[in-house]
Amino acid sequence: AQKVTQAQTEISVVEKEDVTLDCVYETRDTTYYLFWYKQPPSGELVFLIRRNSFDEQNEISGRYSWNFQKSTSSFNFTITASQVVDSAVYFCALSEVEFSGGYNKLIFGAGTRLAVHP
C-alpha cells in the first residue's frame, strides 16, 4: 500500500533561516510520482513540484529546492532564506499510476505547518 509520512507536524523559524521539510514515502510501484503542494490559510492548494520515480535529479527553483533520494524513499523540500509569506501548510503527496484508467490518485502526507516569524 502507498503511504506518505511527514513526521514534522509543525516547524517554526525566524525569517531568513533555511528550513527543510521531510517526506518519506512507501510504495511497491516502480513507477510513481511525488508532489509537493503548499496550502496557505486561504485553503487553496498551490502546486510546487512533481517528480517522477525515474528522475532522481535534485531541483532548484528560486529559494526552493528538492532532494529526491530513492534509496531512502525520501523527497525532502528545503526553503532557503525563508520569508513570512512562506508560512503555510506543506503537503507531500504520492501518485499511483493507474494504467487501466489513465488517472492518478494522490495520497497525501499529514502535512507540515510552517510558521515563519519576522
Partner 1 sequence: GAVVSQHPSRVICKSGTSVKIECRSLDFQATTMFWYRQFPKKSLMLMATSNEGSKATYEQGVEKDKFLINHASLTLSTLTVTSAHPEDSSFYICSATSTSGSSGANVLTFGAGSRLTVL
Q: Of the two residues 5 and 80, which places its CB atom closer to partner 1 in the complex?
A: 5
Provide, rounded to whole angstroms, the least separation between the CB of residue 105 and partner 1: 6
Measured from the CB atom, the residue of 71 and 100 that comes closer to partner 1 is 100
- Which positions touch partner 1 (CB under 8 A)? 31, 33, 37, 42-45, 47, 50, 52, 91, 95, 97, 99-111, 113
CA distance 107 to 109: 7
**Which of residues 18 and 55 has its CB atom nearest to partner 1 in the complex?**
55
Query: Min. distance of Cβ 101 from partner 1 in angstroms?
Result: 7
Chain position carrying cell 529526491: 68
- H-helix or E-strand containing 90? strand 88-95
Question: Amino acid letter at 96?
Answer: E
d(CA 78, CA 63): 8
